[in-house]
Amino acid sequence: MRVVIGWLIVGVMIAATACATTPPPTPPSVDVSGTWVGVWWAFEGQGGGGELRGIFRQDGTNLYGNFEIKGRTINRTFVSGVVTGNEVRLGAPAQGVLLVNGDEMTGTVQGIVEAKITLHRQP
């Protein structure tokens, strides 16, 4: 009887583990490699707004690149994230979600304050 209960517990643990695995991410339906230009503006305070240029390289689901942020000053920063479906999820240095629709990318990024971004692919 102990053996049967032991195997039953092992079976339940295996089934629970199998159910707990995460499904694989949706493959990218877009390639955002290249140069994108547009604008950003902050939702709160005196965050302001300005021009933005992103230069991205996409390798499968991984995204790497740089943002050149123009406002009161010009700042350049490395960005990285993942692309699933038509969604770009930025993870460093700030987190954000951008949706790609053809040659336009829009969304929000959380830096010091939350900012809205609209970018257009450059030829």
Q: Give the per-residue pLDDT at 64.
A: 95
Q: How many domains does the chain have?
A: 1
57, part of any domain = yes
69, part of any domain = yes
What are the 10-residue block averages of pLDDT along the chain, 123 residues in total? Answer: 55 55 80 97 79 96 93 84 96 92 96 90 95
Q: Give the per-residue pLDDT at 38.
A: 97
Nearest to 104 by CA among 53, 37, 52, 56: 37
- Given a contact cutoff of 8 angstroms between Cβ atoms, the answer to whether 48 and 72 are in contact is yes
Q: Give the per-residue pLDDT at 49.
A: 87
13, part of any domain = no
28, part of any domain = no
Taking the C-alpha atoms of residue 41 and residue 54, their distance in angstroms, rounded to an integer, is 15
- The encoded tokens of residue 78 equal 């490395």
Taking the C-alpha atoms of residue 89 and residue 74, their distance in angstroms, rounded to an integer, is 23
- Given a contact cutoff of 8 angstroms between Cβ atoms, the answer to whether 45 and 113 are in contact is yes
20, part of any domain = no
- Given a contact cutoff of 8 angstroms between Cβ atoms, the answer to whether 35 and 54 are in contact is yes
Q: Report the CATH number at residue 53.
A: 2.40.128.120
26, part of any domain = no
Q: Give the per-residue pLDDT at 29.
A: 96
Nearest to 70 by CA among 95, 39, 43, 47: 39
- Given a contact cutoff of 8 angstroms between Cβ atoms, the answer to whether 35 and 53 are in contact is yes
Taking the C-alpha atoms of residue 95 and residue 105, their distance in angstroms, rounded to an integer, is 15
Which residue segment(s) compose the domain that 44 sits in? 34-121
Q: Give the per-residue pLDDT at 66.
A: 94
